[in-house]
Amino acid sequence: MARVVSKILDFVDRLGAKTIDSAELLQRRLREIAIVRKEQEEAAKMLDEKRKILEEERFERIKRLIEVEESILREEAEEEEIEREELKVPFSERFMSMISDVFSRYTTKASGFFSGLQEDLYRAHIDIPVKKYIAFALGISTILAVVVGIVGTLIFVKFLGIFGITIAIPIAFLTFIFSLFFARMYPKNKVKARRDAFARELPFALRHMATKLAGGSGLFEAINSVARGGYGVLSEEFRRVLLEVERGSTIEDALERMDMRIGSPALRKVIRHIISTIKTGGNIANTLKMLAEEISTEVRMKIKDFIQVLNTFTMMYMFLVVVAPVMLTVLVIALGISQKAVIISPTLMWIIYLAIFAVSLYFTIVIKKFEPKA
């Protein structure tokens, strides 16, 4: 008992710590930054090889950019060390570090399940080393499985006796698998969400850039204006483009890397036209206006098609989810009164209603899938 109390107090002391030693934190953060940058570079190379767009010389330039970025971040960290005597760390970061440190030894065994994670983290703009992310996913999944197992055992044993343990254990195992699967899919879902958010703002950003270019501004100034224009994910990606250009990359390479991160067909078309116009010396403002109108027209056509599909689904939804349950209930009541007996048991009625509810959820998911994207 004393050992358990001692371990609990030790855990609380570690969890409740609000600051850590500045030098130790900076060293650790520098190592993590180095790992993140290295992994981002490797992810970019893998995407380049798959699409066969960039050549070997561009890989070398990207490597130099990463090295310059690491040196700049290291200098900024040293400046922070001079200016600040104590560095406060958010609780979420401390909690993640603590969990990942405990489960870091198991990352190699789970690496097969997390294959391709490095590329997904890079595209999702999640600045966490791959091994740390895997260790944290294993830790959280294990904790959730243990909690669900304990709570499930207490509940099922109370109603089913010792047999309840045989139910709680599989549920805990399924919780572990589901949590691990969710952790694996989270970067992919974030990449998709970023792509959709980028596509929604793209026509407005293109008109913004076209207006700036028509007013006499250069392409770099137009991109900078969009980066500060509050377009969400699009502004964030444009800021990354500016950062790469400022550190020695060409505007073409920076735009192509943004295309690799986002993976939007509309963005790919825009970048291809911009690069072509730069090389041929054409009018970029007119090109961007034309592309903005073309993308907007495509979106309007997709919305029109979606409305037609939605009308069909609405009729089906109304009949299956609204009309059918009412007709079934009235029919059961009428037959029960005429025959003076229960035609359908209450349990079966509940099962039917649950099935109808599941159908309504299915219709909702299908309609969401048909929602137009730019």
Question: How many CA atoms lie less than 13 Å away from 360 in the CB half-sphere?
Answer: 14
Beta bridge partners of 87: 20
Q: pLDDT of 334-363, one tens digit each? A: 777 777 766 777 777 788 888 888 888 888
Q: What is the pLDDT of residue 146?
A: 92
- One-letter amino acid for residue 90 of the chain: P
**pLDDT greater at residue 26 or residue 225:** 225
Residue 178 has pLDDT above 90, yes or no: yes
The tokens for 40 are 């981002």
CB within 8 Å of 304: residues ≥ 6 apart: none
Residue 119 has pLDDT above 80, yes or no: yes
Q: Which of 374, 191, 122 is nearest to 267 (CA)?
A: 374
Average pLDDT over residues 67-78: 69
The tokens for 178 are 């589901």
The tokens for 363 are 């219709």
Q: Categorize the per-residue pLDDT at 87 as very low, low, confident or very high, splitting at 50, 70 and 90.
A: very low
Whole-number percent of the chain with pLDDT over 90: 5
Three-class SS state of 11:
helix
Q: What is the pLDDT of residue 86?
A: 41
CB within 8 Å of 134: residues ≥ 6 apart: 107, 110, 111, 114, 117
Q: pLDDT of 7-60, one tens digit each? A: 655 655 565 554 545 567 677 777 887 787 788 778 777 777 777 665 666 667
